[in-house]
Structure 1
Amino acid sequence: MKDNSLSYYVQNYFLSYLISQRGYGNNTVASYRDTFKLLFMFLESDGKKLSKLKLTDISQTCVLQFLEWAETERHNSVSTRNLRLTVLKSFFGYVLSTSPEFSGQCTDIINIPAKRVEKKPPLYLTESETKLLLNAPDRNSREGIRHMAILTLLYDSACRVQELINLNVADVTIGRCCKVFVKGKGSKYREIPIFGETGKILERYINAYGLKPGEVLFTNRSGGRLTRAGVSYIMNKYKKILQERYANRFNSNLSLSPHLMRHSKATHLVNENVNIYNVRDFLGHTSVITTQVYLTSNPEVTRKAIEKASSKTVSESNDYYSLQEKEDLLAFLETLI
């Protein structure tokens, strides 16, 4: 007889589907796990015992109540609320594929609409602010060289913080064509070109610390890999320094983070008229729809992008984009209205 307990389906969803079939990385699995931990917390607060819960106990009404609780009691933003819903939709999509007898319940939950959230252009550092930040560390000290290498590589490669701290020395190529080889979301690898000056800074850092190819590129004081918290600590240190030195030239209201560096690099590339598809590949996005948000940071860039997109509709350039890219571009244009 088939086990219809909630725990049975949740365990199989994580082990058989997310990890084995989809190959999701640790961070993605952790974010999905957090949604279920929160759901279980909600159910327990409602007097339910997890060990006795059946799959059928998680109805559309239950999910809607959970989402409302997450917003009001846990103070989740609308974006976070929608993320929780996306995880649950994914789970019930898996259940539907393995146990069609629950199709009515699964379809009801999958059809729950996401809340509309106001789309805002990503915040970013101006080029002058970025220059102030990258020049803030003391390049004459060993620690300063290390911090400069971390900050410069974060910006120039626009890599995610997890991609940065996963790097080994062997992942960096220094020479005529400087580049880094990173493992991104979904365990996908990509090669990122970096500026020659960034390569020189990394070379100086590697030599200063006597690092070998098989070693971790950035470590903490205990010798382990640098952590997310460690990167945040370094960034906050220089934010305070810049606020003191350049109160009128640095926006102290910005929350300085690795992702802000990524947003800044992407926005600067778009502002320099780099093709949006090249930016997509540089950032490691699977779709240009994710990347196009950077166009909205600068209205003039958006106008030029629309003109360029329109010019590509003539017959001479009909084969310029693949079918998928054409569909993505149409979806992108819809978001501009």
Structure 2
Amino acid sequence: MTPIAPLIEAFLNETLARQRGVSRHTRDSYALSFQLLFMFAAKRLKVSPSALTLEQLDARLISAFLEYLEDKRKNAPVTRNVRLAAIKSFFRFLEYRQPAALEQVRRVLAIPFKKTDQRLVPYLLREELQAVLDAPDPATRDGIRDRAMLHLAVCAGLRVSELTGLKLEDIDLSSMSIRVLGKGRRERTLPLWKTTAAALRAWLAVRGRVAAPEVFVNARGEPLSRWGFAYLLKHHAATAARAHPGLSKKRISPHVLRHTCAMIILQATQDIRKVSLWRGDQDETAATI
């Protein structure tokens, strides 16, 4: 029997973190998927999670786990598919580590994803976007920071992890550009709009000397988290909605800002490939608009 613990540790810490260079957010999502799976398997098999073996995680148990997610935890099909994607990624890793388990791997990889309805991602109209960008108070340190963050999120179409992970060394205001390290450690350089560069200069002037190398920090000098940015965005969206009531009907998330950038670039260039390159999409031939 093959203990599962060292295999999972190697997958998360070596393959995902070091070899593939995936983001911390992705690793956390994978880790949560396995935590839920192991809790389910341990209860079902009446063993402790640390005693689970690879042979016990067969296609039948994983299918039962996916049913549990939907029936008991009331997860939507899209969440079920996220958990299954993490499991399949791990079993593809096992193909090269455990040749004796190839048939087990084949059966797990054959488990189908569920079809989901693809919802169109909303984006902000020009007046709505301006209301959100103007929401932070430019007379306060936090307001100056938040205004710079919002401008940069829209201008560059950054993922939240790219925005919160941006470092001082990645900004070149003399050439009005930034360097972004995206998914799969793919690097891209993006120009800054004049308003974005001005907002960044204003923030860097009041940021002060802190130990953290990240551009955006809180009052304690610590890097802002993705959840911190989402909270601030929600707060400023509510402020903007008071000036522009139409915003109250839209759920404004970090992804909406990224999608708004895509629409701005598409309208300006009429070239979807440039949208993909700008946003750092994995498939440069087809950005999802």
Could you tell me the TM-score, scaled by structure 2's length?
A: 0.91
Give the match for residue 160 of structure 2: 161
Match of 1:242 among 232, 236, 240: 240
- How far, CA to CA, are the matches of 1:156 and 1:82 in structure 2? 31
Q: Are 2:7 and 1:9 equivalent residues in the alignment? A: yes
Asked if 1 retains the 8 angstrom alpha-carbon contact of 2:162 and 2:181, the reply is yes
Q: For residue 17 of structure 2, what is the aligned residue in structure 1?
A: 19
Q: Is the contact made by 2:180 and 2:187 (CA closer than 8 Å) also made in structure 1?
A: yes
Q: Deviations over 1:53-108 (max 9, x none)?
A: 22111111111111111122222221121111111111111212222211111101
The answer (yes or no) to whether the contact 2:212–2:221 under 8 Å persists in 1 is no
CA contact (8 A) 2:240 2:247 kept: no
Aligned pair 1:149/2:145, yes or no?
Answer: no
RMSD (Å), alpha carbons:
2.2
Residue aligning to 2:38: 40
Q: 1:261 aligns with which of 244, 257, 271?
A: 257
Contact 1:82–1:115 under 8 Å retained in 2 = yes
Q: 1:174-253 maps to which residues of 2 (within 5 A)?
A: 174-175=173-174, 177-210=175-208, 215-247=213-245, 250-253=246-249
Task: Give a deviation string over 1:133-176, Cα, whole Å, max 9, x none.
Answer: 1122233443322221111111111111111112222321223x
Identity of aligned residues (%): 29
- 2:282 corresponds in structure 1 to 286
> Normalising by structure 1, what TM-score?
0.79
Which runs of no fewer than 5 residues in structure 1 stay unpaired?
295-337
Aligned-partner Cα distance in 1 for 2:148–2:103? 54
Larger radius of gyration: 1
Aligned to 1:255, the other structure's residue is in SS state coil
Q: Structure 1 pair 213/46, CA: closer, same or farther in 2 (3 Å)?
A: closer
- Kindly state the Cα deviation for residue 289 of structure 1 after the two structures are TM-superposed: 6.1
Give secondary structure in 1 for the equivalent of 2:25: helix
User: Contact 2:144 / 2:202 at 8 angstroms: preserved in 1?
Assistant: yes
Residue 158 of structure 2 aligns with an amino acid whose one-letter code is C
Indicate conservation of the 8 Å contact 1:169/1:212, yes or no. no
Deviation at 1:212, TM superposition (A): 8.8
Once residues 23 and 231 of structure 1 are traced to their aligned partners in structure 2, the CA distance between those partners, rounded to angstroms, is 23
Runs of 4+ in 1 over 6 A off after TM superposition: none
Aligned length: 288
Contact 1:170 1:214 in 2 (8 A): no
User: CA 1:232–1:18 in structure 2 vs 1: closer, same or farther (change >3 Å)?
Assistant: closer
Q: Is the 8 A contact 1:220 1:227 kept in 2?
A: no
Q: Is 1:53 aligned with 2:49? A: no
Counterpart position of 1:321:
none
Q: Higher RCO, 1 or 2 (CA under 8 Å, sep at least 6)?
A: 2
